[in-house]
Amino acid sequence: MKFFPLVTAVLVTVILFFAVLQRDVLFDFAGRDTDADGAPEAPEPQPQQTVAQTNSSIAETNGIAVMARASVAQNIENAVLLRGQTEAARDVIVRAETGGTVVSEPLRKGAQVDQGTLLCRLDPGTRGATLAEAEARLAEARARVPEAAARVAEAEARVHEAEINQIAASQLSEGGFASATRVANAEAALSSAKATLSAAKSGLESAGAGIRAAEATVDRAQDDLGKLEISAPFSGLLESDSAELGSLLQPGDPCATVIQLDPIKLVGFVPETQLGLIEVGANAGAQLASGEDLRGKVTFLARSADETTRTFRVEVTVPNPDWTLRDGQTAEIVITGGGMRAHLLPASALTLNDRGVLGVRIIDAESRAQFAAVTVIRDTVNGVWVGGLPETADVILIGQEYVTDGVRVVPSFEELSQ
């Protein structure tokens, strides 16, 4: 039963042997010649040149064709474009400094107020009586001063008398006309007189301190009465209603919000890359979302950056005599700087070198491509203004990505039209 599978395995092994290891013998046995079909031998593959080698060989012979522009630097007005908003010159919430019930009629928001205009008046309550009491205590303290001064004068006289008695007793004792007891009594009387003088002087100082304390109490009572009327700190507009009649205000509670809109500020934030282009006093313009154009000057440039955005606050002051400009309007701000020389090129001419530096490819005097780093000054619809190039430069517009430094080029120039 196992004979036929064994024979089949032997035959398959023999066939595989001749098919793999003895291929030529098998073909001869089959009557086929490997070269009899007359097929031409395939040519040996030749190593192909790379694109870079091809470009290099072309560059060494004729050069690589590129499109270039003979660019000439022009004077441009250096400007910084920012997006910001209008902001009131002053915005203050006027708060109560003492407690009390409002007894004045409220002013409605939008009302124009001048500096010193009454916004809220508070009920004085018992503050008048407190002031009268403080003034009475001041008068009482002042009345104590003459009495204390008289006591000091009396004590000084007794000290003087005791000193005379003590000197006399000492001299008599030295001559044998007075006993030691008399001398001791005189010295004791002098010490007692000095103690009385010290107490009198303390009483006089206490009377002076009482006067100062009473004066401070009077000042506090008068100051508290002065805080009952809350006035506008500057001329402007009410952004909120003043406190309603009958409402109770505690110290720190808001009475009204006053804003000053003339002049008004335009506030933007400039990145640190453009910080050197702005200085205080520079002319500035702005256009609101409504289309209104504004003119002003830079009045503030921050010295410290915002911790989140790493930008610097800049403020432009604009006159607003008719108060038509409002706080919080969106504005596009243009701040002018000093003039500078720059080239106007299409954005497609910009490229990066191997280190990631932004620049362009220019053509030197030997018609070879060279990389030149540039700084983008401004982006416009006609192209980008760049700095860092010579006064005149042949800039490659098309083909800059296919050449490297030192590669010979064959430029075709276009006329610069602006």
> Is there a single domain that holds both residue 106 and residue 134?
no
Distance set, CA 114 to CA 4, 111, 245, 257, 327 (Å): 123, 10, 21, 13, 19
So what's the pLDDT on residue 27?
59
* Residue 288 lies in domain: 261-338
So what's the pLDDT on residue 261?
92
pLDDT digits over 64-122, tens only?
999 999 999 998 877 788 999 999 999 999 999 999 999 999 999 999 999 999 999 99
Alpha carbon distance 46, 389 (integer Å): 46
> Is there a single domain that holds both residue 305 and residue 317?
yes
Tell me the β-bridge partners of 264: 88, 318
pTM: 0.55
- pLDDT beneath 50, residues of the chain: 1, 33-52, 58-59, 416-418
- In a domain, residue 15? The reply is no
> Is there a single domain that holds both residue 283 and residue 147?
no
> Is there a single domain that holds both residue 103 and residue 245?
yes
Residue 404 structure tokens: 């490297």
- In a domain, residue 111? The reply is yes
- In a domain, residue 327? The reply is yes
So what's the pLDDT on residue 22?
60
CATH number of the domain enclosing 119:
2.40.50.100
> Is there a single domain that holds both residue 102 and residue 249?
yes
- In a domain, residue 52? The reply is no
pLDDT digits over 227-243, tens only?
999 999 999 999 999 99
CATH number of the domain enclosing 399:
2.40.420.20
- Give the count of domains, the chain: 4
> Is there a single domain that holds both residue 348 and residue 272?
no
